[in-house]
Structure 1
Amino acid sequence: MKKNSIEVRNLSFRYQKEDAHLTLKQVEFHVKQGEWLSIVGHNGSGKSTLVRLLNCLLEAEEGQVLINGQALSSENIWEKRQEMGIVFQNPDNQFVGATVEDDVAFALENNQVPPEEMQVRVEEALKMVNMWDFRDREPARLSGGQKQRVAVAGILALRPNIIILDEVTSMLDPEGRKELMETIAAIRSQQAITVLSVTHDLEEVSLSDRVLVMKAGRVKSLQTPQELFQRPDLEDLGLDLPFTRQLVEMLDLDVSGYLSEEELQDYLWELQSPR
C-alpha cells in the first residue's frame, strides 16, 4: 500500500488575526506517493493560499501538514522543503542566472552540491524537459513554455519527491500548455514523483488521478476527473465545460459518461462507419 506524500489535517488559516473571515476552513485531504492531484476552484477559493501553507510560506492558524509522514514544524521546515519543489505562475520571478544552465545550477550551488555532481544533475534535468540545447541561452529570450520548462528543470535538479505546480499553465498558449503538461506527465511516469497542481486548465486536470474542488475556503469534493467532468455545476466551480462535453451536447449525442477527445473521435468514427 502506497504511503501518503502529503497529508493535510483540519487546516484553517486567516491573513489577519482580527479578520472574522477564514481564508481556509478545516481543509483535509491526502496525496499518495506517485499520485497526481489537481486542485481547482474559483479565484479566491483558497487554492494558492493552501500551496503556500504546504511549503510553510504561510503559517496555519489550526491543523497540520504532514510531508512524507512527518508534521511540518519550525525544526524540520528546511529539511522538508528539500523534499518539495514549487513552480509558480510566472517563471520570470524564479530566474536568477545569466544562462539557462546557470539558472538550473543556482539552487544546487546554494545547497553545496559538489561541482561534478552539479554538472550531471543540470544536464540530466535539462534533458528531461527537452531544454539541453538551450543551455547557453538567456532565460529572458525564451518563449513562455520554454521558461516554464526551465523552471521545472531547476526543481528537478534538486531531486524532490513532490512537485507542486501553482497555475503554471495560466500564462501559456495552448501549444505551450500541452508541451509542458506532456513533459510533467512523462517525468512523473518515469520517476513516480508526486504531483500537486493548482489549475483552471481542464487538459491539465484530465491528466491527474483525482481532483480536489475548493469553494469558499473549504473542500467541496474530491473525485476523479471523469466524475468531475460529468457534473452539471462545472461553471459554478469556476471551470469551463470540457470541449468533448460541449460537442456531445451540440450534436445531441446519447453518450453516458465523460469521453476524452480520442475516445469521442473513435465514437464518432464508429457512428459514421458502415455497419
Structure 2
Amino acid sequence: MTHIIEVKNLKYKYDEEASTYTLDDVTFHVKQGEWLSIIGHNGSGKSTTVRLIDGLLEAESGEIIIDGELLTPENVWEKRRQIGMVFQNPDNQFVGATVEDDVAFGLENQGIPLEDMRSRVREALDLVGMAEFKTREPARLSGGQKQRVAIAGVVALRPNIIILDEATSMLDPEGRLELIRIVKDIKDRHQMTVISITHDLDEVALSDRVMVLKQGKIESISSPAELFMRTDLQELGMDRPFSVELAERLRQKGIDLPLCYFTEEELEDTLWELLSNK
C-alpha cells in the first residue's frame, strides 16, 4: 500500500519569538485508503498538523509530500484540490442559499460542466442521505444534517483525502456515530484516505491507526485496540471504552477473559461462549 501523505521532520510555531514549537520534528505517513485518527490534549498540535498538510499554514522546516509530490507554495492550490476538509462548525462552510447550491459551489469554482455537476451533487447527497433536503436552506437543518451537507460538499469534489477537524464534536452521541459510519462507508466505497482529529471513542475505533500528539511531538502511533488497552487514556484526554472497563472488572471477579481489547459485541460473544462451555 503506497503512502499518499508523508510528513518529514516538520517544525512549526505561531510566534517566531516563542522558545517552544507547536510542532517539533514531527514525522509520520498515511497510507492510501487508510483512516488515521489524531488525538491529544488541546494545544498538542493536532489542528496545526492538518492545516500544514492542507497548505493553510507553512512550516518553518521539514517536508510534506502529497501523492508523491513535495508540497510547495507553487503547487499548494493544486494539492488542495486533492484534500477536502470538514470543520467543527459546519455553519462556517455554508455559502449557498439551498443545500444543493451549497454542494455545487466548489464544483462551480472548479469549472465542472453543468450536467456533470448535477450528477455529482445528486450522488453526494444520496451518499449522505440528504437528497430529500436538497431545496432546504442550510440554516434550517439540524447540526447532524448540516455536517452531512458539509461532507457531501467535500465528497462531490472527489478528493483523494478527507480531513475531519473535530467534525463530530458538536453532535450528540447518536449523531456522531451516524456521521462517522457515513464517512466510513464513503471511504470504503471510494478508497478515500481519512484523517480525523477527534476525542470520540467510536471515531477512533473505526480508524486503522491512531497517532497521539503530546506537546507538539508524536507520543505514539498504534492500532485502536492497542490504544484502548492503555491505562493512561485519561492523561491523553480520552475515556476508557465501556467494554474495556467491564472486561477488567470481570477479570477481577475471576472470569477467565484474555487480556486484549474487545468491542462490546466481541465481549458479549466471548462471554456467551464461556458460559456455554461450562
- Bin for the TM-score computed over the shorter chain: over 0.9
Q: Percent identity among equivalent residues?
A: 61
Counterparts of 1:1-275 in structure 2 under 5 Å? 2-251=1-250, 252=252, 253=255, 254-273=257-276, 275=278
Show CA shifts across 1:43-63 (max 9, x none): 111001111111111110110
What SS class does the counterpart of residue 196 from structure 2 fall into? Answer: strand
Native 8 Å contact 1:214 1:220 kept in 2? yes
Residue-pair matches, total: 274
What SS class does the counterpart of residue 20 from structure 1 fall into? Answer: coil
Q: CA deviation at 1:233?
A: 1.3
Whole-angstrom distance in 2 between the partners of 1:27 and 1:216: 11
User: Gaps spanning 5+ residues in structure 2: where?
Assistant: none
Q: CA deviation at 1:98?
A: 1.1
Whole-angstrom distance in 1 between the partners of 2:134 and 2:271: 44
Q: CA deviation at 1:274?
A: 6.3
Name the aligned partner's letter for residue 185 of structure 2. Answer: A
Moved over 6 A (4+): none
Q: CA deviation at 1:255?
A: 3.5
Native 8 Å contact 1:40 1:212 kept in 2? yes
Q: TM-score, normalised by structure 1?
A: 0.97
Q: CA deviation at 1:212?
A: 0.5
Name the aligned partner's letter for residue 142 of structure 2. Answer: S
Q: CA deviation at 1:261?
A: 1.2
Whole-angstrom distance in 1 between the partners of 2:218 and 2:263: 26
CA RMSD after TM alignment: 1.1
Native 8 Å contact 1:248 1:255 kept in 2? no
Native 8 Å contact 1:108 1:157 kept in 2? yes
Q: TM-score, normalised by structure 2?
A: 0.96
Q: CA deviation at 1:199?
A: 0.5
Whole-angstrom distance in 2 between the partners of 1:220 and 1:274: 42
What SS class does the counterpart of residue 112 from structure 1 fall into? Answer: coil
Whole-angstrom distance in 1 between the partners of 2:129 and 2:71: 34
Native 8 Å contact 1:89 1:168 kept in 2? yes
What SS class does the counterpart of residue 186 from structure 1 fall into? Answer: helix
What SS class does the counterpart of residue 160 from structure 1 fall into? Answer: coil
Whole-angstrom distance in 2 between the partners of 1:10 and 1:215: 16
Native 8 Å contact 1:36 1:195 kept in 2? yes
